Structure 1
Amino acid sequence: MSGPPSTEPSSPPPDASRLHAPLARVLRPLVRLMIRSGVTFPALVDLLRELYVNVAEYDFALPGKEQTDSRVSLLTGIHRKEVRRLRGAGAPVQTVPTSLSRTSRIIARWLAEPGYIDAAGHPLPLPRTAPEGQPSFDALVSAVTRDVRPRAVLDEWLDSKIVVLDDEERIVLTEAAFIPRGDDDRKLHYFSRNLHDHAEAAVSNILSPQPRFMERSVHYDRLSAPLARDLAARSRALAMEALQAANREAHAACQSDPGGSSRWNFGVYVYVEDGEAAPPPEPGHREVEP
Structure 2
Amino acid sequence: MTTGTDDPFEAALAALLAPLAQAMVARGLTLGTANEALKKALLEAALATSEGKVSDSKASLLTGIHRKDIKRLRAEESEGPPRRSVNAAALVLSYWATAPEYQHKNGSPRDLPRSGSKNSPGFDELVRQTRADMAPGTVLQALLGQGAVELQEDGRLRLLTHTLLPAAGSAEQVAAYQATLSAHLAAATQNLLAGNGDSRNFDRAVRYSHLSPASVEKLHRLSAQKAQALLEEINAEARALQEKEAESSFDGRFVLGAYILPSPGGTSEEEEET
- TM-score norm. by structure 1 comes to 0.78
Q: 63, 72, 88: which is aligned to 2:59?
A: 72
Q: In structure 2, what is the Cα distance between the partners aligned to 1:153 and 1:53?
A: 38
Identity of aligned residues (%): 27
Matches within 5 A, 1:229-248: 229-248=217-236
Given residue 186 of structure 1, which amino acid in structure 2 is its aligned partner? E
**Counterpart of 2:263 in 1: which secondary structure?**
coil
Given residue 236 of structure 2, which amino acid in structure 1 is its aligned partner? R
More moved, 109-118 vs 164-173: 164-173
Give the aligned length: 262
Query: Are 1:201 and 2:187 an aligned pair?
Result: yes
More moved, 242-251 vs 76-85: 76-85
**Counterpart of 2:257 in 1: which secondary structure?**
coil
Name the CA shift for 1:264/1:194 in 2 (closer, same or farther; >3 Å). same
Structure 2: gaps of 5 or more residues: 269-274
Matches within 5 A, 1:14-29: 17-29=7-19
Matching residue of 1:5: none
Name the CA shift for 1:253/1:147 in 2 (closer, same or farther; >3 Å). closer
Q: In structure 2, what is the Cα distance between the partners aligned to 1:233 and 1:140?
A: 32
The answer to whether the 8 A contact 1:117-1:123 is kept is yes
The answer to whether the 8 A contact 1:56-1:72 is kept is yes
Give the C-alpha shift of residue 122 in structure 1: 4.7
Give the C-alpha shift of residue 118 in structure 1: 5.3
Query: Are 1:172 and 2:158 an aligned pair?
Result: yes
Superposed CA offset, 1:49-102 (max 9, x none): 222122212x2221xx211111111111122222222225337633557xx632
Q: In structure 2, what is the Cα distance between the partners aligned to 1:122 and 1:238?
A: 19
Q: In structure 1, what is the Cα distance between the partners aligned to 2:23 and 2:101?
A: 42
**RMSD of aligned Cα (Å):** 2.9
Name the CA shift for 1:132/1:159 in 2 (closer, same or farther; >3 Å). same
More moved, 197-206 vs 42-51: 42-51
The answer to whether the 8 A contact 1:202-1:215 is kept is yes
Q: In structure 2, what is the Cα distance between the partners aligned to 1:48 and 1:91?
A: 16
Query: Are 1:271 and 2:271 an aligned pair?
Result: no
Matching residue of 1:134: 120
The answer to whether the 8 A contact 2:60-2:67 is kept is yes
Q: In structure 1, what is the Cα distance between the partners aligned to 2:133 and 2:63?
A: 46
Query: Are 1:54 and 2:44 an aligned pair?
Result: yes
Matching residue of 1:93: 81
Structure 1: gaps of 5 or more residues: 1-11, 280-290
- TM-score norm. by structure 2 comes to 0.82
**Counterpart of 2:150 in 1: which secondary structure?**
strand
The answer to whether the 8 A contact 1:106-1:140 is kept is yes
The answer to whether the 8 A contact 2:94-2:235 is kept is yes
The answer to whether the 8 A contact 1:235-1:270 is kept is yes
Superposed CA offset, 1:122-159 (max 9, x none): 53443445554125334323433597664553333212
Name the CA shift for 1:259/1:13 in 2 (closer, same or farther; >3 Å). farther
Q: 99, 112, 120: which is aligned to 2:98?
A: 112
